Every structure is written in structure tokens, then in C-alpha cells.
Amino acid sequence: MRHAPIDSKLFVQNRERLTKLLLPDSLAVVNANDLVTTNSDGTGPFYPNSDLFYLSGVEQEESILLLAPDAHDEKMREILFLRETNDHIARWEGHKLTKQEAQTASGIKNVKWLSEFPTIHRMLMCEVENVYLNANEHRRAVLEHDSRDDRFIRDTQKTWPLHRYHRLARLLYGLRPVKSDLELDLIKEAVASTNAGFERVARFVKPGVNEREVEAEFAHEFIRRRGRFAYAPIIASGMNANILHYIDNNLPCKNGDLLLLDVAASYANYNADLTRTIPVNGKFTRRQKQIYNAVLRVMRGCTKNLTPGKLPKNWQKEAELMMQEELLDLGLIKTRDIKKQDPDKPALKKYFMHGVGHPLGLDVHDVQLVGQPMQPGWVMTVEPGIYIPEEGFAVRLEDDVVITADGQINLMEGVPVEVDEIEELMAR
């Protein structure tokens, strides 16, 4: 565990929120993620299952959580199963959680070794009527391989075909967007690391540095602050910024170009998400400044429009109307383009073709129920952009914003964003 210990109260509260939504006589099961294989006998970094971490704080492979709130035996109502270690595992893989460590981290009193799972699972299945099984239901997910949860679903339904089965993701996707104060504190840690990385890079960038060197500066700051990259960093200079998910990060930054930085830290599995666009030589040109300030105005307008009860799709429409006015003022589109546009392909999409933001949390594109209105406690990214391949550059800006009943809290208020702030920072 790279990060500092987390108060187990967070995970206790999350389990309480979930169990209140379960039907009577229910069992819910959540599995850890698989270790990802690379080539030969290699494995990649382990990424905890977000739902398992949300409910237990555990970040170890092969772990399983059982929740049976109405179990006859009170000790069986919350059980965490762990992979049991031995001398061989300790020698080759390192430390694994002890039962006491898992109890402290999760607040779950009943922690058992994985070898006991089949017997206890059978006992509870014989007692319950309803079974909640978990799956990745993010609508943009590309699922080419079975997860541990997928395999568990098949095995369980084959062995126990007469139970009533339910989708646990439907409940978790309703709960996870609303962040508690403890969760917000962890996101703020990720934001603080992100800000430190950005300020380090802004002082480092100059004509001739390579995009990969910029990436290395971010890595240095994030790792020393007990974090990691929240996602594959986008370090896109000049024309590269017109590629929305450019991650090659291997070309030199040239004098006169803009450098788009879509880079953020993750801390304790909670993520920040930042984008800033800076001039490689430390000074914006007049045209670059025009585009930049247009994007900044849209970002601020969209931030003000984040209000409880609003549907995300309506927020997106508001963003597009603001962007349309900016593009008209910049001369990038004409009134006639709007009059003759296909409603499904509006003229503004030539220069602003993506969503203006998304929920943020344990996943960078955090989960939510489709059609669910925004609520107090949601953390949303706000990330408009203007992409102009014909002029060889693009500008995107992005902040992370908490929605409250009384307005918005911009978690990135302290990250420089005004033109003069950027130029002053780069001049130091």
C-alpha cells in the first residue's frame, strides 16, 4: 500500500449504504480483479477492483467480499476472504494482508482465508433467496476478456439455477457518484499532487524539450507524493493536440507551439483529472490567446451550470450552445453553417466533438446510472476544447468540480489557468 492508511469508517459507511438497498434475504458478492498477464510469464501492475475497494478498502488479488445482511448467524453478515500467504509467496511476491490488517483496513470483523470460501458460500446460498452479482456495466467499457466476477457469475448460476439473481452494479452505480467527505479528502490529495506536477512542468517546459521528458517530470512528482498516473498521460505539442487521446508522447516541443497537458494523479485509488494548455516558449500568440480565452469562458460557464437535478445530457447541450457562440465570434463557423446543419451533426462538432465532462472518483470516467440527474456530492470534470487542425494547434482546459446544494466547489481553483498566470509561472 503506497498511500497513507484510510479511516475504515469510509468503507463501513459505504457497506451500510449498499445493504440498505438490498432485498430481504439477500447475498451480495464482489470479487477482486485478475492480475493482468503481459507476455511470457510477465504480469502488469495490479489495479484493484473499484467496487471491492469502495466496500472494503482492500487492494489485494483474489479477495472476495460477501454481504448477507439478514444471515441467521450475525458473524456471517460481512465476510472478507483473503489469499493466504506462505514462505514461498512472501519470498517471491512480498507481504500479503494478515487477517488483523484486513480487519483494520476494512472494518470487517470476520476475515477468513480463501480456502474456506466454498463451504461458507454454500451455507449462505442455502439460506438466501436473492443473490446480487457484480459486473462491469459501464456503457463505454470494451470487454474482451472475462473477469473474476464474470466467471463467478457463470459458475454460481450453473450450480444454483433456482435463486433470484440481481445486478449489483445497478445499486453501486447509483451510490458511487455521491462522494462522502472522506472520499473528497482523498480526491483533494490527488488534486494536490496534480497541481504540484503541473507547476513543476510549467517551469520545466521550453523549446526543444521532448514530450517524454515532460511526462517524466509529472511521474517524478506523482510517485514521490505516494501516487501514480490516474490514466495514460496526454502530452501533446502542436498538431498532436488535435488527437484527442494522443499518448505517444515522443516528439519535441517546438518554439511557438502550444502544449496540451491532460495529466493527473491518482491517490489511494481516487483520481484527479486535469487539462491545461501552455505555450512552449512561455508566451501565447494573439491567436492562441483568443482561442484559449474562448475555451476558458466556456469552462467557467459550464462550471456555473453544474446544479443538482440537471440531467448530464442537458448540461452537454448548454455547453454546446456556449461553444457555438464562441466559435461564431472566432470566425471558425458562420451563421449559414448553423442554418444548414444536420441536427445530428451540428457545425460546432467540427471543432468541439466530445463530451464536456464526466463523473470522477475511483474511476476516471466514474460510474453512474444512465439518465440519473446530477446530485450534491457528485464530482464532475469540466473539459471543453477547441481543435483546429488547419491552424496546427488545439486548446483544452479541465477542472474538477464538486456539486453542492449551494453551488459549486472547484477543487482546482488553485491550479493556474488564466493566460497571465500561466505566463508568469513559466517565467519563473
pLDDT of 368 over the 90 cut: yes
Largest CA distance in the chain: 74
Q: Taking the model in full, what pTM does it have?
A: 0.96
* Rg of the chain over all Cα atoms, to the nearest angstrom: 24
Q: What is the pLDDT of residues 82-97, one digit of tens each?
A: 999 998 998 998 999 9
- What pLDDT is recorded for position 353? 97
Residues of the chain with CATH 3.40.350.10: 9-175
Q: What is the pLDDT of residues 138-159, one digit of tens each?
A: 988 888 889 999 999 999 999 9
The band of 2, judged by pLDDT with boundaries at 50, 70 and 90, is confident
Residues of the chain with CATH 3.90.230.10: 181-427
Q: What is the pLDDT of residues 98-133, one digit of tens each?
A: 999 999 999 999 999 999 999 999 999 999 999 999
pLDDT of 240 over the 90 cut: yes
Q: What is the CATH number of domain 9-175?
A: 3.40.350.10
Q: Look at strands 110-113 and 78-82 and give their pairing.
A: parallel
pLDDT of 134 over the 80 cut: yes
- What pLDDT is recorded for position 322? 98
- What pLDDT is recorded for position 306? 98
The band of 37, judged by pLDDT with boundaries at 50, 70 and 90, is confident
Rounded to whole angstroms, the Cα distance separating 373 from 280 reads: 40
Burial (0-12, 13-18, 19+ Cβ within 10 Å), 159: exposed
> Could you confirm whether domain 181-427 is CATH 3.90.1150.10?
no
Beta strands in 143-295 (DSSP E): 164-167, 228-229, 234-237, 258-262, 265-267, 270-271, 275-279
Q: What is the pLDDT of residues 260-290, one digit of tens each?
A: 999 999 999 999 999 999 999 999 999 999 9
Beta strands in 136-222 (DSSP E): 164-167
Q: What is the pLDDT of residues 308-320, one digit of tens each?
A: 999 999 999 999 9
- What pLDDT is recorded for position 428? 83
